[in-house]
């Protein structure tokens, strides 16, 4: 059973994943992680997916579907009034991550995020930091793949992979600090 606004937020994520024409395996995996963090079970996750498939039968322009279904407004709402800046920034961060999950942050995905930034009043600087972080994390992922394919299994490869993992963790920690600090502004 969904808590208030949960279904709409999950639908926003899934529709966003559909924006570039297909939902990739890596996007599905990340969506499952987001649903787990939101405490959405498998049954409710399938309700979200089915709902998104149903409302996109009429139009494949996902931004228009989001606006038509009023999801941009509903997700932006908290228990009373708009959610705090930190909660909205966390949603934007999840969207940026989903956009990069398939290694291609598409123009249609960017348009949706731009619309939400304007609708919710999230500062452009915060968004740019998120994109920079995601770009760097994508580069680190590619570097890790290169290390794995180039170096034989052993201490040297393990050390290189560990350094990348630590950098990954540091970057995630920094973006979470930025998001959490928004509540203090």
| Residues in CB range of 170: below 8 A, 6 or more apart | none
The whole-angstrom separation of Cα 174 and Cα 56 is 36
- Partners of 77 in the beta sheet? 82
Give the residue-averaged pLDDT of 13-19: 96
Instruction: Return mean pLDDT, the chain.
Output: 91
**pTM, full prediction:** 0.88
DSSP letter assigned to residue 82: B
Model pLDDT for residues 117-146, shown as the tens digit of each residue: 999 988 899 999 999 999 999 999 999 999
DSSP letter assigned to residue 20: T
Q: Are 159 and 113 in contact (CB under 8 A)?
A: no
The whole-angstrom separation of Cα 90 and Cα 165 is 22
Lowest average pLDDT, out of 77-81, 83-87, 134-138, goes to 77-81
User: Domain residue spans in the chain?
Assistant: 6-184
Lowest average pLDDT, out of 5-9, 81-85, 145-149, 165-169, goes to 81-85
pLDDT above 50 (res 80): no
Give the residue-averaged pLDDT of 36-50: 96
């Amino acid at each position: 059973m969904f808590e208030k606004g949960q279904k709409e937020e999950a639908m926003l994520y899934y529709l966003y994943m559909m924006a570039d024409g297909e939902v990739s395996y890596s996007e599905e995996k990340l969506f499952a992680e987001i649903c787990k963090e939101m405490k959405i079970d498998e049954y409710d996750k399938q309700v979200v997916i089915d709902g998104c498939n149903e409302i996109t039968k009429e139009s494949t322009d996902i931004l228009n579907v989001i606006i038509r279904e009023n999801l941009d407004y509903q997700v932006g709402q908290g228990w009373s009034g708009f959610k705090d800046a930190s909660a909205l920034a966390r949603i934007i961060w999840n969207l940026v991550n989903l956009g990069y999950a398939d290694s291609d942050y598409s123009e249609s995905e960017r348009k949706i995020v731009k619309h939400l930034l304007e609708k919710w009043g999230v500062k452009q600087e915060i968004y740019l930091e998120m994109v920079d972080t995601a770009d760097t994390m994508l580069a680190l992922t590619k570097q890790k793949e290169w290390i794995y394919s180039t170096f034989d299994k052993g201490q040297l490869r393990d050390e290189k992979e560990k350094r990348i993992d630590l950098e990954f963790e540091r970057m995630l920690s920094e973006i979470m600090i930025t998001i959490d600090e928004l509540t203090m502004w």
